[in-house]
A and B are shown apart, each in its own frame.
Chain A
Amino acid sequence: MTDTFPRIAVRRTYKLYVGGAFPRSESGRSYPVTSSAGDHLANAALASRKDVRDAVVAARKAFLGWSGRTAYNRGQILYRVAEMMEGRRSQFAEEVGAAEGVGKARAQALVSAAVDRWVYYAGWADKFGQLLGGANPVSGPYFNLSEPEPTGVVGILAPTGSSLLGLVSVLAPVLTSGNTAVLVASEDAPLPAITLAEALATSDLPAGAANILTGRLSELAAPLAGHADVNALDLAGAGGLAAELEALAATTLKRVRRPGGDDWDDTDPGLSRIKPFLEIKTVWHPIGR
C-alpha cells in the first residue's frame, strides 16, 4: 500500500508580455510582489530599459497591421478580450482582492467593470471616426475630408491603486483606435496586468499591439518617455515623475496626456481617453471634369 500525498499545486510564473510572447526580463531579474497586507504573492519580472526598447520595437512593428485592420475587426477583437477575461473571472478577482485589499464582492465588481470596459471600447472602434471627422465646407472646388488616425506607439504608465479596472481603462481606449501600446503595470500590483496579458494573448490581438512590462516605475518610465519611436504618453500612473517625464517627452514632441481627472468607476468616459491619442488627417482633392 502506497502513501497518499496532498497534491502540490503548480504555481504560475509571471513574465513580461512583449511582441506576443512571454519572455522573462532580459536582465534576468525579478522582484517580490506582496499583497496589500504584506504577504508574498509571487515574483514578477523586473524589466530593464532594454526590455522597454524591445517592447517599443515590437509595438512599432505591430502598428501598421493593427491600425490597418478595419474598425469593425478591432471592435471584435476588443470584444474577444472581454470574453477571454470573463472565463478567468475567479483568477482576476483573487488577484485584485489580494492586490487592493478589498473583499470578495468588491473584487468581483471590479472584475465585472473591467470586462464591461472592454465591451464599451469595443463599441467605440467604428464610431469615433464619424464623430471626429467629416467633410469640410471649403470655399473652392475641392473635396476636403478630415479623418482621425491613431497617433502611433503610445507609452502608458498604468494607474496605481486600480490594478485591473484602471489598467483596462487606460489600455482599451488606446487600442480601440488602432494605436499600439507599451504599458508599464502598477509597480506594487502587477499581477492582474500579467493575467490580462494572458487573456490578450488568446484574444486574436496581433502580437505586439499591446506590450506589458512589470518593474520599477523609476527605472522604466524615463526610457519610455524619452524613446524617439514613441509617439504619445499617458502619464496616468506617473505620480511625482509626471513633470520630469513630460519634459523628456518634449524632446521628440510626444503628445502627452497629463495625469488626473479620472474616475475609473465612470462607465461612460466617452472620448476623453481616445481623443488624446489621435491625429487628424485632412485630404484635399480637386473637383472638376
Chain B
Amino acid sequence: MEIFEYAPAPESRAIVSIRPSYDLFIDGEFVESKSDERLVTVNPADEEPLAEVAVADDADVDRAFAAARRAFEQVWSRLPGAERGKYLFRIARVIQERARELAVLESLDNGKPIKETRDVDLPLAAAHFFYYAGWADKLAHAGLGTRPLGVAAQVIPWNFPLLMLAWKVAPALATGNTVVLKPAETTPLTALAFAEICQEAGLPPGVVNIVTGAGATGRAVVAHPGADKVAFTGSTEVGREIARAVAGTDKRVTLELGGKGANIVYDDAAIDQAVEGIVTGIFFNQGHVCCAGSRLLVQESIADELLARLRARIERLRLGDPLDKNTDIGAVNSAAQLARIRELAAAGQAEGATGWSPACPLPERGYWFPPTVFTGVTQAHRIAREEIFGPVLSVLTFRTPEEAVAKANNTPYGLSAGVWTEKGSLMLWTASRLRAGVVWSNTFNVFDPASPFGGYKESGYGREGGRHGLEAYLD
C-alpha cells in the first residue's frame, strides 16, 4: 500500500520547439539532402512522430567530407589552439544556457527520464566541452603527438545521444580535427540542435558536419576515403565490421562497444548501498548502457537477504512518463530494441532461469519493459552472455573471491565491473584482477570528462575522456 502517492510533476515541453522537418548540416548550413528519403523520429513514450529528418546518401556524405576537409585545411588546423579552445568554451556555455530545452528534447526523442537528462546527460555534455576546450592550447604538454589527424568520421548511438556527441566532437575539435558525425537513426534531434549551437557559437563552417540517416549512411561515413580517423560507439557486431573495413588502410580507429558488466557483491558489503548501486547499475537509462552492471554476482551467504532487499527497492521504482520529474524508468528507445529485450527475456525463461518483475502497470502506448530480475542464472544462459541493453538483471552467485573474478571475466566483453566490499585490500585485489576498463567500487555508473572510459577485449579499443582521450585524435 502506498502511504504517499506521487502527484504528477511533468516538465513542460513548451520550452522546446521541434521543427516538422530537418535537413542535413553541412558546411555551416542546413542543406537539403540529395536523396528523397526521409525518416521519422518518434517519441518512444507514446509513439507519436516528433519530426522528419533527411536520410543522407553517398553524395551527401561526399559533400560533408569535402566541407570537413576544406575546413580542416583552410581554417581549423591553422587556428591557434587558444582560439580553437575559445570556440569550445562557447559551445559549453551555450549547452549550459540551453540545458533545460535540450534535456526535454532528449527525453522526448530518447524516452529517458527527465531526471537523468537534466542531471546527467546535459551537465556531463557541457562539462566535456569545457574540459577539452582547456586542452586545445596545451597539447604539447600531454605527452602525446601534437598534430591533428584530419577529418574524423564519427558514428554515435541512441542511448546518450548528446552526451556521446560531446564525447566524440569535443576531443576531436580540441586537437584540431574536423568532423563528420552521424547521430543514431532513432535519436537525431539533439544532434541537430547541436548544429544550431555550432552556428550560435560562430564555429567556422565545415568544422562540424552532421549527416542523419540509418545504417547505410553510417556505413558510408565510416568507409569514406576522406576519413583519416573513425570513431564509433555502438554494438560489437558493427565494431567488428568497422575494424575489418579499415584493415590495410592508414585510418586510425577507436571503438567503444558492448559490455556485460559484472557487479560483484561480497558478504561484507554495506548492503543498502550495494542495493542502490545494483539498481543504478542496471536500471539507469532503462539499462540502455554499454557499461551496465547487467550481471549481479553475489556471495552465496548473503544472496537471500540481498535479493529480498533488492526486490523491495525495485518495487519502489516509478516507471512512466519520461517528462515526469518523479520517473525513475522511462521508455525503451525503439520498437526494435523492445523486441530484442523481449526475445532475450523469453530466452531466460526458456533456458530455466526464473524471472521476476514488480507489479508495474505499463502505459498503453509506447515501448515499455518492466524492471526484471532473473535468478537461477548459469554462465551458459544467453542472459548471462549476451548484452540485453535493457532493464534486465541476471543474478549469479559465488563462494570465493577467485570464483567471483573467474565468473566476472568469463565473457568476451571487458568494459565495466563493480565491486562492493568494505575491505580495502579485497577491493583492490578484485579490481586488479578484473579485465575491464572501468571498475566502480562501492559505486556504479559514475562518469566524468576527466576520467578515461573504454574497454578491454571485445568491448573495443581506445579511451574517451581525460588526457588519454586526446590520443585518439593526435599523431
Contacts and interface: CB of A to CB of B under 8 A. Distances in A.
Interface of A: 131, 136-140, 142, 144, 146, 151-152, 228, 231, 242-244, 246-247, 249-253, 255, 279-286
A180 to B, nearest CB: 14
A247 B244 contact: yes
A282 B248 contact: no
Nearest to B447: A138
Given A253-B236, A253-B458, A284 B438 contact: yes
12 contacts: A137-B450, A138-B446, A138-B450, A139-B448, A146-B452, A243-B248, A246-B243, A253-B257, A280-B454, A281-B431, A281-B436, A281-B437
B442 A286 contact: yes
A246 B443 contact: no
A246 B450 contact: no
Nearest to A286: B443
B457 A253 contact: yes
B442 A282 contact: no
Contacts of B255: 253
Given A131-B143, A144-B448, A251-B240, A284 B439 contact: yes
Nearest to B438: A282
Contacts of A250: 240, 243-244, 247
B127 interface: yes
A282 B452 contact: yes
Interface string B143-165: 10000000000000000000000
A113 to B, nearest CB: 26
A76 to B, nearest CB: 21
Given A253-B461, A281-B439, A139 B127 contact: yes
B124 to A, nearest CB: 10
A88 B255 CA distance: 45
B439 A282 contact: yes
Contacts of B443: 142, 284-286
Contacts of B461: 253, 255
Interface of B: 127, 143, 236, 239-240, 243-244, 247-248, 255, 257, 412, 427, 431, 434-443, 446, 448, 450-454, 456-458, 460-461, 463, 466, 468
B466 A146 contact: yes
Residue among A131, A255, A283, A285 with the highest chain B CB neighbour number at 10 A: A283
B247 A280 contact: no
A280 B248 contact: no
Contacts of B453: 282
A238 B257 CA distance: 28
A140 B446 contact: yes
A207 B345 CA distance: 45
A140 B439 CA distance: 16
A210 B255 CA distance: 29
Given A137-B450, A231-B457, A283-B441, A252 B412 contact: yes
Contacts of B257: 253
Contacts of A283: 431, 438-441
Residue among A255, A279, A282 with the highest chain B CB neighbour number at 10 A: A282
A174 B300 CA distance: 39
Given A146-B468, A281-B431, A281-B439, 16 more contacts: A140-B448, A142-B448, A146-B451, A152-B435, A246-B243, A246-B248, A247-B247, A249-B247, A251-B240, A253-B236, A253-B460, A253-B461, A281-B434, A283-B438, A284-B443, A286-B442
A159 to B, nearest CB: 19
Given A138-B448, A140-B448, A282-B451, A253 B441 contact: no
